[in-house]
Structure formats: C-alpha cells, structure tokens
Structure 1
Amino acid sequence: MKWLRRYAEAHPWRIMAAITGCAAGLWLAGLFWFAGQIPLRVADPVTRSDAIVVLTGGSNRLRVGLDLLSQNRADKLFVSGVYRGIDVSELLEVFQRAPEELSCCITLGYDAVDTVGNAAETAAWMRENEFTSLRIVTANYHLPRGLMEFRRAMPDITFIPHPVFPQNVHLDSWWRWPGTARLIAGEYNKYMASKLFGRLLSKPYRSGAARHSIVLSPGNK
C-alpha cells in the first residue's frame, strides 16, 4: 500500500475530490431512495385505532384528523405542537365544526416544537390514557421521519400511517420541481440525522407532558 500513500501525498486534491464524489453519490442515491419511501396514497384508511394524532404544520392535517374522528376511526384525537393560547373551541370554529358533532374528546398538546417533541408529547398522552394503537396524520413527505421518531418513543404501540398530500408538493418527477426538491432534500437530511443521532436527540418520557392540554367533551362548549 506504499504506492497508494505516495500517490495520496503527491495528489491530495485528487484523493479529496474522489472522496467527495463518492460521498455525494451516496447522498444522492439515498435521496432517491428516501423519495421512494414517501407514500402516494393512504394504505389503510379504515382500520380503527385507539387514538389519532395530528402533527401540526399544515391546516389540511387538522381537517383530515377531524374528519377521521367524525368517522369514528378512533376514540380520541390528540393535536401535537399547538401554539399556546389556542384552544379547542377556536380550532373547531376555524374548521367550521360544532362540538356536538364529535362523539369523543379532542386534546391539544402545547409542548412540542419539533418532531422529536411531537413523539415525546404524544407518548406521554398515550401512556396516560393507556392506549395501544395510534393513527398518525401528517404530511406525506414528513411521514417517514415522523414514524421513525414515534416508533423510537413508543416501541410497543401499533401505528397506522395516514399521510396528507399538500398541493404544492409534486412527487411525480419531483427533481424537476425546485421547491419540492429542496423540501425532500431537507427532509432527507433530517431523516438521516435522526437515524444516526436520534437516540441522543430523543426526549425522555415525561408523565406530565400533556397535563396542560385542554380537553373538550361533547357536553363542554
């Protein structure tokens, strides 16, 4: 291997370029693999679960979650990552839903500021309610990372992924759409960071994480 050492000493930039090229090729291959993991449809729209969680970040996510609750797909709906100061009645008013339409409760979680926080906050709420199955409602491009974080936080829970499809995200030939390409690349980087360092970033379970949530029952307005 002396010849290789001598070559590296004589041509350090060529070696660096080769390493950079290999790393870029691996990253690009991983990016296309990741894009292929983004769901194009809801695989299981009908199976009932104990609860539904909506990860905030797009208005259509909450609309889908409310529809699922109205269709009796679960006993309770948990909305994770809500801005403090927002309550259930305001959300229902925005989405033109009357409390009496719902056959069960809605809980708002205010602690989460990212996906790791969503998982920790939801895990606490699931534990408090002794639920064992959960339907996750979030954007399709966010679902691979969301599921990974939730499975890490709740290894004993059965999950049903329920993707929502933002109109401005174009998965057909996504690389031709600059906005979509940037979105997927950014999400892929976050996914890989979580994959590699997720256990260091994960938040421990806290039994009181959801205790400040506001609960609305059919009789409360």
Structure 2
Amino acid sequence: MSLQLDDTSPNVRAARTRGWLRAAIVASFALCFVAAAVGFVGFLSQLRGVEAEPPHNADGIVVLTGGSSRVSDAMELLAAGYGKRLLISGVHPTNDANDISRSVPDSQPLMRCCVDLDHSAVNTRSNAAETRRWVRERGFKSLIVVTSNYHMPRAIVELSHAMPDVTLIPFAVVGDKWRDEPWWTSGATVRLLLSEYAKYVAAEVRVRLADAGLDLAPDLGEPGQRRPATALAN
C-alpha cells in the first residue's frame, strides 16, 4: 500500500516556499550579475585608448593629481594656449610650486604666471568642490578636465554635478601600460578598472539621489586619504 503526501500539508507548503525562495534569490543574483556586467561594458566603452587634442580652447584647465603624466600633460595644454589658467587640484600639503617645476621641466614661467595649486582636495568629490570655487572666483564658463582615462567618467560625474553651468571638455590621459597591452591581460589593470567602476557607480547613485533631494553625504567628505607626497611626480 503506497502513501501519498497531502499537497496541502504544512511540510509540503514549507518545502515549496523554500524552493521558490531559493529560486528567487538565484534569479536575483543572476540579474544583478548581468546588470553589473552590462554596466561594466558600458563603463569600458567610455574609456579612450588614445589621447586626442581638445576640440577647442576653454577658459581654464583643471588637472586632478594622482595618475601618470597628468600634470605634465596639463602643463603642455596650458603652454599651447588651450586655457588661460591651470588649477592643479589635490596637491599634497608638503608639495609646492618648486616640486612641480622639478617634476615638469621648463614649467617655471607658467608656474609663476598662470598656475594655481589646490592643497585641500583629498578625493574626486572634493576635487570637484575646490574646482567649483576656483571657477567661480575666476568667472570661467568652460573647463578642460585632465585626468587618467579610467578616472575620467567618475571625474565628469562629480564635476558636472558640482558645476552644471560650466562646459566640461575631457582630456583623457592614456598611460603607457594601457597602450602597450590589452587591459584584460594584466591582473593589476583589471582590479583597477573594477575598483574604478564600483566608485563610478557609487558616484552616479549618490548624484542621482542628490538631484532627487536625498543627498546622503552633503558635507563633501567621502572617505579617502590624502595622496602620498610622491603622487605629484607621476
């Protein structure tokens, strides 16, 4: 004589509920993974693989320190007349104009006449805040933004949020390593891009919440540490 379980029994209902819950969790994780992968591809599509001259001049130039050859490239743009004045944002407190002159040959004349140093910014969000103060003081309406190609999407998010009325012209600095080998062949580059993508998404979410009146960090104090004194020479 065979026994059949009652489909309405508590044990059967509980088992079915657990099965549905597991399936829902697996499906949610799968959807999140697909969304993250699609977003990462979209992020990569924004990264320039070669450097290109700005399409036109701007009132000013800002360079966000911390990456290879950013400052030297910004000085070259200033020397070529692409902007009237340059802000170097995120300079370590122990560095001064002499340190920059030593790391960027033939920059002393420009340093004396046309370069301002920002020692206050400690991360991309505070870079944007200090750049906004500088732009307003100078009355600038357009700005060339110089930073590494992988950092440019997040920099533009922060700067455009801080200065919606200022025209931003990206100048993405492409490092030698990026040009010499595909990014997916280097574990360090993959980790860098994944980390930057996560920060970019976080910045996008925070900016959208702020636009909706739900800014969760109004003091511009996102966690971060000052760059080491050697960062300026990169």
**TM-score bucket of the superposed structures, by smaller chain:** 0.7 to 0.9
Q: Following the alignment from structure 1 to structure 2, what is the Cα–Cα distance between the partners of residues 173 and 6?
A: 49
Determine whether 1:50 maps to 2:59.
yes
1:159 is matched with 168
Determine whether 1:139 maps to 2:142.
no
Determine whether 1:193 maps to 2:202.
yes
Q: How does 1:17-56 map to 2 (within 5 A)?
A: 17-56=26-65
Q: Which of 126, 137, 143 is the aligned partner of 1:117?
A: 126
Q: Following the alignment from structure 1 to structure 2, what is the Cα–Cα distance between the partners of residues 98 and 182?
A: 34
Q: Answer yes or no: is the 8 Å Cα contact 1:70–1:103 preserved in 2.
A: no
1:195 offset after TM fit, Å? 0.9
- TM-score normalized with structure 1 length: 0.82
Unaligned segments of structure 1, at least 5 residues: 205-221
Taking only the aligned residue pairs, the percentage that are identical comes to: 33
Q: Following the alignment from structure 1 to structure 2, what is the Cα–Cα distance between the partners of residues 48 and 16?
A: 52
Closer/same/farther in 2, CA of residues 161 and 173 from structure 1, 3 Å limit: same
Q: Following the alignment from structure 2 to structure 1, what is the Cα–Cα distance between the partners of residues 156 and 180?
A: 19
Aligned amino acid, residue 26 of structure 1: A
Determine whether 1:128 maps to 2:137.
yes
Aligned amino acid, residue 62 of structure 2: V
Q: Following the alignment from structure 2 to structure 1, what is the Cα–Cα distance between the partners of residues 125 and 110?
A: 32
- Choose 1 or 2 for highest CA Rg: 2
Q: Following the alignment from structure 1 to structure 2, what is the Cα–Cα distance between the partners of residues 117 and 57?
A: 14
Q: How does 1:176-215 map to 2 (within 5 A)?
A: 176-198=185-207, 199=210, 200=215, 201=217, 203=219
1:105 offset after TM fit, Å? 1.2
